[in-house]
Amino acid sequence: ARALVDLAPDVQFVLDHCGVPDIKGRAEHPWREQITAIARRPNVVGKISGVVAYADPSTWTAETLRPYVEHTIGSFGWDRVVWGSDWPVCTLGGGLLSWVAATHALISGASESERAKLLSGNAKKLWRL
């Protein structure tokens, strides 16, 4: 993915699903390094979506997802992340309401401005909505 991004610096890319981490296997390496590396490219935005599909559907909690979501936001920064429901795929991991509740728990410590950027502001800019 990084090679493609580097070949097309004028193209805006969106990295879906926090880069598809192995949450169920609790593997953070090499995922963590790969996210850090791709986030260095200014033409890539990270999308916080779909991560429940990569967790154990019967046991995941917001805390299970926290290291992955926080690292993605920390790597890209609040100005380059967008949120997605990933509906209907999110139903494989507990449903939309569970994912929305987890999202709000995960960003509860963020400022109102940061939450607004993640949940709508950045998407409006990115997709010119």
Cα distance between residue 76 and residue 70, in whole Å: 10
Tokens in use for 71? 């690292």
Phi, psi of 79 (to 5 degrees): -85, -10
Tokens in use for 113? 């401005």
Q: What CATH topology corresponds to 2-126?
A: TIM Barrel (3.20.20)
How confident is the model at residue 29, as a pLDDT?
78
- The vertex-20 CA angle with 94 and 114, nearest 5°, equals 80
Tokens in use for 7? 């070949």
pLDDT per residue rounded down to tens, the chain (129 residues): 889 999 999 999 999 999 999 899 887 779 999 999 999 999 999 999 989 999 998 999 999 999 999 999 999 999 999 999 998 888 877 889 999 999 999 999 999 999 999 999 999 999 999
How confident is the model at residue 115, as a pLDDT?
98
Domains of the chain: which residue ranges?
A: 2-126
